[in-house]
């Protein structure tokens, strides 16, 4: 049986977390939970949209991964400024507020701006964004990782042999920034690969644009499909739907996306490699599938 790079890397790195030092006072985690809400998804999400706008956020994306969930992608001036700092800081330009019905109540979670600021090398000016999320929707309980410092997160990879931040999918290279954007827009509009645009955010002062995209590929490529992947990743009473949507980055004349073996592990660093329950083994075919699907969107054979 062929053993995937994902599984090989996980086996080699199975002792990784045991070897990390503990820095409890400075630990960062990928998600922030808010108190559970009563009511329907639609009503609660609309109320939260109003509160987020009042707190200075712009809602750039609003979608329902399943019938009993809702994800709001939000940005603000501080996130946009931070997104311009490094080569790949743009991946953190939009945070997520996610809602899911769990046991008759609405679970509410946010992606943690401080965690992803460290991961994407965005600088240290996002603390106010975290405070604004807490004020607007109550996200204040970190969860989803062990004890990780900002330095741990900044240089993160799951295990020996696994991808880092800079080990991206190279989706296409074009004659100019405008040509690269046009290729992405055309590919997403055609939706031939089952990839749909949720949002677009231009990074101020740089030739960079971030697209948030949903992958509805269950009929053509199940291993890349959002619903299949979240069926493995989104477990427990606190929802982790803020993993969605995936991002495509246009940077100058090149188009790229974070490698799933990095991106999924960054969001779910505690997910085990093997086991009867949720594990990365169940997603061993997904990294290659996602690379194939995203490449097909922006770099058809005629453009390569």
The whole-number pLDDT of residue 66 equals 84
Per DSSP, the three-state class of 285 is coil
The whole-number pLDDT of residue 192 equals 80
The whole-number pLDDT of residue 82 equals 96
Strand 69-75 with 58-63, pairing: antiparallel
Burial class (CB in 10 A: 0-12, 13-18, 19+), 166: exposed
- Angle made by CA atoms 289, 293, 297, in degrees to the nearest 5: 165
The whole-number pLDDT of residue 254 equals 97
State the 10-residue block means of pLDDT for the chain, 304 residues long.
Answer: 42 34 62 95 96 98 93 97 97 98 93 98 91 97 94 93 96 97 95 92 98 96 96 91 98 98 95 80 95 87 44
Q: How many Cβ atoms from other residues are within 10 Å of residue 259's Cβ?
A: 20
Closest CA to 210 of 80, 49, 57: 80
With a CB cutoff of 8 Å and minimum separation 6, the contacts of 237 are 102, 103, 107
DSSP H or E run through 7: helix 5-12
Domains by residue range for the chain, with CATH: 5-303 (3.30.310.70)
Say what the alpha-carbon torsion angle 115, 257, 84, 186 is, to the nearest 10 degrees: -140
The whole-number pLDDT of residue 6 equals 47
Beta bridge partners of 59: 74
- pTM for this predicted structure: 0.90
Whether the CB-CB separation of 117 and 124 falls below 8 Å is answered with yes
Query: What 8-state DSSP symbol labels residue 140?
Result: -
| Order of strands, sheet of 31-37, starting from the edge strand that comes earlier in the sequence | 58-63, 69-75, 95-102, 105-111, 31-37, 141-143
The whole-number pLDDT of residue 299 equals 66
Q: Measure the CA–CA gap between 288 and 301, rounded to whole angstroms.
A: 18
Q: Measure the CA–CA gap between 118 and 59, rounded to whole angstroms.
A: 23
Whether the CB-CB separation of 255 and 171 falls below 8 Å is answered with yes
């Amino acid at each position: 049986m062929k053993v995937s790079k994902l599984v090989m890397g996980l086996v080699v790195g199975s002792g990784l977390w045991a070897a990390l030092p503990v820095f409890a006072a400075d630990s960062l985690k990928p998600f922030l939970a808010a108190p559970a809400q009563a009511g329907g998804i639609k009503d609660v999400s609309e109320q939260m949209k109003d509160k987020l706008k009042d707190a200075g956020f712009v809602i750039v994306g609003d979608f329902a991964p399943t019938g009993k969930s809702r994800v709001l992608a939000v940005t603000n001036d501080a996130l946009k400024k931070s997104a311009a700092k490094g080569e790949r800081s743009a991946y953190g330009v939009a945070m997520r507020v996610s809602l899911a019905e769990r046991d008759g109540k609405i679970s509410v979670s946010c992606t943690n701006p401080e965690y992803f600021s460290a991961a994407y090398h965005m600088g240290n000016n996002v603390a106010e964004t975290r405070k604004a999320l807490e004020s607007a929707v109550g996200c204040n309980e970190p969860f989803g990782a062990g004890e990780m410092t900002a330095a741990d997160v900044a240089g993160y990879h799951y295990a020996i042999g696994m991808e880092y931040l800079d080990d991206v999918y190279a989706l296409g290279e074009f004659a100019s920034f405008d040509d690269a954007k046009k290729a992405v827009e055309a590919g997403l509009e055609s939706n031939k690969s089952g990839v749909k645009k949720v949002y677009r955010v231009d990074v101020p002062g740089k030739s960079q644009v971030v697209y948030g995209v949903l992958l509805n590929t269950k009929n053509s490529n199940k291993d890349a499909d959002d619903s299949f992947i979240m069926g493995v990743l989104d477990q427990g009473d606190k929802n982790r739907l803020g993993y969605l949507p995936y991002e495509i980055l246009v940077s100058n004349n090149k188009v790229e996306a974070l490698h799933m073996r990095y991106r999924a592990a960054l969001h779910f660093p505690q997910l085990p490699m093997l086991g009867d329950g949720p594990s990365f083994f169940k997603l061993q075919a997904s990294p290659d599938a996602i690379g194939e699907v995203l490449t097909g969107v922006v770099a058809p054979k005629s453009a390569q």
